[in-house]
A and B are shown apart, each in its own frame.
Chain A
């Protein structure tokens, strides 16, 4: 599994756009990039996944450059409820059954009024 590097923490204010970048220099050809969100005292929640270019859903956008050595999770107009830890994961989506998620320490996002 490719090693990922994220900022330990970020601060923002309500209504701002937040971009969290993850570095994964050793990403393999078959690897996908996945982001999870975890609120205090809750289990992680799947946010978004992508392979290349841009993916958007109702929660966030994921930007992946052509070399795929990094990715950026974009949260539009954050609110206080977006305060959480965000994890970037990289790995092969091969459906072998054994697909553990390797969570690093994540990025702690604090949104203030």
Chain B
């Protein structure tokens, strides 16, 4: 049981490049989330999903897109990277049968946009 995994762990992009971050969970969780964490700040929600085939915007969705074609995977895409998107990105998941605040986080992806 690997829990929540994220790929890649590190990435450096040039402004304007695109990339996709992959989140995978093997706990059969219904809900999945993408957060970003900037230095000295708490986490901010980018997008989330309440089930396979569904996605919704969080509080900072601009510049990102997501897809959840399979229940176990949640992809975060950056179409045209900007330096403001330099951050650590965390994926999380939770079970519908557990408290909503009991989320399981992946190890994070550290992204630098130059």
Q: Is A100 in contact with B48, judged by CB distance below 8 angstroms?
A: yes
Q: Is B102 in contact with A46, judged by CB distance below 8 angstroms?
A: yes
Interface centre among A43, A46, A91 (most CB of B within 10 A): A43
Q: Is A99 in contact with B104, judged by CB distance below 8 angstroms?
A: no
In Å, the complex CA distance between A104 and B43 comes to: 8
Q: How many residues of B contact A (CB 8 A)?
A: 28
Q: Is A101 in contact with B31, judged by CB distance below 8 angstroms?
A: no
Residues 67 to 113 of chain A near chain B (Cβ within 8 Å): 87, 89, 91, 93-106
Interface residues on A, range: 20 to 34
Interface-facing stretch out of B11-19, B67-75, B105-113:
B105-113
Residues on B with C-beta less than 8 A from A104 are: 42
Q: Is B101 in contact with A91, judged by CB distance below 8 angstroms?
A: yes
Bits for B42-76, please: 1 = Cβ < 8 Å to A, else 0.
11010010100000101100000000000000000
Residues on A with C-beta less than 8 A from B106 are: 43
Residues on A with C-beta less than 8 A from B48 are: 98, 100
- Given known A94-B100, A97-B50, A98-B56, contact A43–B105 (CB-CB < 8 A): yes
Interface centre among A44, A95, A96 (most CB of B within 10 A): A44
- Decide if B83 is an interface residue (CB 8 Å cutoff): no
- Decide if B96 is an interface residue (CB 8 Å cutoff): yes
Q: Is B59 in contact with A43, judged by CB distance below 8 angstroms?
A: no
Kindly list the 5 A-B residue pairs having the minimum CB-CB distance in the complex, ordered from nearest. A43-B105, A103-B42, A99-B100, A97-B50, A100-B45
